[in-house]
Structure 1
C-alpha cells in the first residue's frame, strides 16, 4: 500500500466529515453540522492529508502561527487504516511545516491519551477548556 501525503490539498466538507465518521473522532465532532464542518476545514491554515489513491484515509488539521505554537485540532485516520503508522506520519509532516521553535499542542482523545507520550509528547496539566455553551464568569 502506497499512502500519498499532501500539504494543504483542498478537500470538501463532505470528505472531511466522511473521514471523521470513519475514524474514532466522528463521535466527538459535529459531523452532522455541515456549516460547522465547512468552517472547521476552510479556516484551518495547515492541513496534511493522507490518501490511498483517491480515498482520503487520514488528516492532521491545525491552526498555527508557524513560529510559536500549532494547535493540532484533529488527527483522524480511517479505522481500516489504523496501526499502519499513518497518524504518526501525519504528525511528523505537520511538525516539518513548523518553525524550529514552534510547539505542537493537542488535546488527546480519551482512548489515545497514552499514545502521545509514547511518541515524545509531554503531558501538560495546565490546559483549560471553556466550552461554547459556557460563559466566562464576571
Structure 2
C-alpha cells in the first residue's frame, strides 16, 4: 500500500485523534491537555507524519539542539495500521535527519512494552553504571 510521508506537523484534530487512538495519551506522565501536547509537538526540532489519503496514521517527532543531541518523542501509529512497518519508517526517517545534521547521540523514552521494537532498530538500553533518570514535578 502507498502512503504519503511528510516532514510537517499535522493539524491539531488529526494529532489529537492519533494521540488518543494510539494509546500514547494514557502513557503520559503528568496532566497535560491535548492543546499543550500539540504545542509541545509544534516546538519540535523535526517531525514526520504518515498519511493514508487524508488520514494521519503515524507520527513521530524529535527535540534537539541541532548539533549533537536529539531525543525521539511521541512515536505513534494508528492501531489499525500497526504491524505494517510504519513505526520503523518513522524511526528510520528521524534517524536519517540526525545523520544529515551530524547528530550522533540519539535518546528515546519507550512506552511500556515497546522496548523490543526499538532494540530491533538498533537502540540499546543504557548501561547500569550510566542510567537515564527522570523526575516528574
Both proteins in one fold, TM over 0.5: yes
The separation in 2 between residues aligned to 1:74 and 1:120, in whole angstroms, is: 18
The separation in 2 between residues aligned to 1:81 and 1:31, in whole angstroms, is: 28
The separation in 2 between residues aligned to 1:130 and 1:122, in whole angstroms, is: 22
Q: How does 1:111-126 map to 2 (within 5 A)?
A: 111-124=113-126, 125=128, 126=131
Deviation at 1:32, TM superposition (A): 7.0
Identify unmatched segments of 5+ residues in structure 2.
none
Structure 1 partner of 2:4: 4
SS in structure 2 of the partner of residue 75 of structure 1: strand
Structure 2 partner of 1:64: 64
Change (3 A) 1:53 1:109: same
Change (3 A) 1:18 1:104: same
Match of 2:107 among 84, 93, 105: 105
Q: How does 1:54-93 map to 2 (within 5 A)?
A: 54-93=54-93
The separation in 1 between residues aligned to 2:115 and 2:54, in whole angstroms, is: 31
Alpha-carbon RMSD: 1.9
SS in structure 1 of the partner of residue 113 of structure 2: helix
- Does the 8 A contact of 2:14 with 2:55 survive in 1? no
Q: Which consecutive segments of 4 or more residues in structure 1 shift more than 6 A? A: none
Would you say how many aligned residue pairs link Structure 1 and Structure 2? 131
Q: How does 1:43-58 map to 2 (within 5 A)?
A: 43-58=43-58
Structure 2 partner of 1:136: none
SS in structure 1 of the partner of residue 124 of structure 2: coil
Can you list the C-alpha shifts for 1:73-130, whole angstroms capped at 9, x where unaligned? Answer: 1100000000100000111111111133422210111110122112211111411011
Identify unmatched segments of 5+ residues in structure 1.
134-138
